[in-house]
Amino acid sequence: MTSKTMEELVSLCKRRGFIFQSNDIYGGVKGLYDYGPMGVELKNNLKQSWWKSMVYERDDIEGLDATILTAPDVLKHSGHEDTFSDPLVDCKSCKSRWRADQLVNQACPHCKSKDLTDPRPFNLMFKTSIGPVDDGSNFVYLRPETAQQIFINFKNVLDSTNRTLPFGIAQIGKAFRNEITPRNFIFRVREFEQMELEFFVEPGSDDKWHQYWIESRYKWWIEQGINKDKLELIEVKNDDLSHYSKSTVDIMYNFPHGKEELEGIANRTDFDLGSHTKNQQEFDISSKVIKNNKSTTKLVIQNIANKKWFVPYVIEPSAGVERGVLALLNEAYKEEKIDEKNSRIVLALKAHLAPIKAAVIPLKRNNEQLVNEAKSIKSNLQKIGLGRVILENSGNIGKSYRRHDEIGTPICITVDFETLENKTVTVRDRDTMKQKRLGPNELKNYYEKYFN
């Protein structure tokens, strides 16, 4: 087994339909990627696994799916209009633009010139106009994080579910950032998805819950198949903390290009609800909130014991779907020697994340009986509802195995002439490459056990 490079991952992703450069036939747009037939399944499986662990398997978290287009008032009071920027420099020689904090030796990465402008803040939010008049006065932002819609829906969710603290609101959705230098494939892009939880707690219990979520999220990534040796928890230094955070711990992963953030777990205190609430002066808010005389709603909860209304603290685990996909691909990609002459690439994804759960392969593509039998097996397995099952009718068993090893299909089922006689099939395991013969009931049991 050899270690892989980013180039090998990019090549596999294109070859096998995971990820394509977006707008490719018109030259492509930097920092945008499309997810192909395998990529969309992998992404969906990862999101589903997160949702299951956050919403279905707990009794203290509700889901939300709010809009991407966001009113300027929201991002003004969240602090994004003023502070969500990166320092930008221009190279006076080649006219390229760079993030000042990512320069090596203060030189232009393109032409190596040191003749650069002073850094100036560059706001990362995308704007678009809304309504029929496009004169700049009616604009909205494309949200830079999914979190703000959770905060502004706090009261709606609270009132409609009768929750008490602690409780959380989970959301998965797109976020947009006009990154100055998108790079490292899908690691830093301009359009991406976040899986975010805002977990509301009593002030004073925030440190305990922060620690709880750090441990819980770390464990979850290991359950998805990330090797613990490639993960590290790093406390963000005070100078690097976001404007809303009292303390943040990043889950770092050893990506092919280096160790970088996979997920951040922040203690956002009462900053966000405190900044968005109506009548801020009525409440004992501990953080330095942004003055608000526009909000129509008090974002508070009542203390049952002393009847006082207060602004809860919030702990936020925030993970990027794309970074998760890149880490999982990196973990799963293996090049293995089969014998003296042959090797194979195999994507050893955990079964619940595999884009295709099983491929049913008729031995001969033009034999109607074999194909019909394979179709019927496919349809029966599909009905079990554990993910996508496909009919792989290429007529070449070797090629089919190679393709399914590379996309990470855990089970290949071959339908041959013996199947027509006694209904047994050959089942091949992706990881061991071992094959066994199973009858119809055995196949169903084997399949269900494998994915449950």
Residues lying near ligand GAP in the complex (CB under 6 A) are found at 145, 147, 177, 179, 188-189, 192, 194, 196, 261-264, 316, 318-320, 322-323
Taking the complex as a whole, the smallest distance from the CB of residue 429 to ligand GAP amounts, in Å, to 33
For ligand GAP, the closer CB: 328 or 371: 328
Taking the complex as a whole, the smallest distance from the CB of residue 344 to ligand GAP amounts, in Å, to 31
For ligand GAP, the closer CB: 150 or 425: 150
Taking the complex as a whole, the smallest distance from the CB of residue 193 to ligand GAP amounts, in Å, to 8
In three-state form (DSSP H/G/I as H, E/B as E, the rest C), the secondary structure along 194-236 is: EEEEEEEECCCCHHHHHHHHHHHHHHHHHHCCCCHHHEEEEEC
Taking the complex as a whole, the smallest distance from the CB of residue 223 to ligand GAP amounts, in Å, to 18
Taking the complex as a whole, the smallest distance from the CB of residue 148 to ligand GAP amounts, in Å, to 8
| Cross-strand bridge partners of residue 34 | 20
For ligand GAP, the closer CB: 11 or 83: 83
Taking the complex as a whole, the smallest distance from the CB of residue 213 to ligand GAP amounts, in Å, to 13
At 198, list the tokens.
């805002």
Taking the complex as a whole, the smallest distance from the CB of residue 86 to ligand GAP amounts, in Å, to 11
For ligand GAP, the closer CB: 213 or 447: 213
Q: Which residue is nearest to ligand GAP (CB)?
A: 320
Cβ atoms < 10 Å from Cβ of 6: 15
For ligand GAP, the closer CB: 157 or 315: 315
For ligand GAP, the closer CB: 179 or 405: 179
For ligand GAP, the closer CB: 189 or 214: 189
For ligand GAP, the closer CB: 192 or 447: 192
For ligand GAP, the closer CB: 262 or 389: 262
Taking the complex as a whole, the smallest distance from the CB of residue 441 to ligand GAP amounts, in Å, to 44
Taking the complex as a whole, the smallest distance from the CB of residue 328 to ligand GAP amounts, in Å, to 13
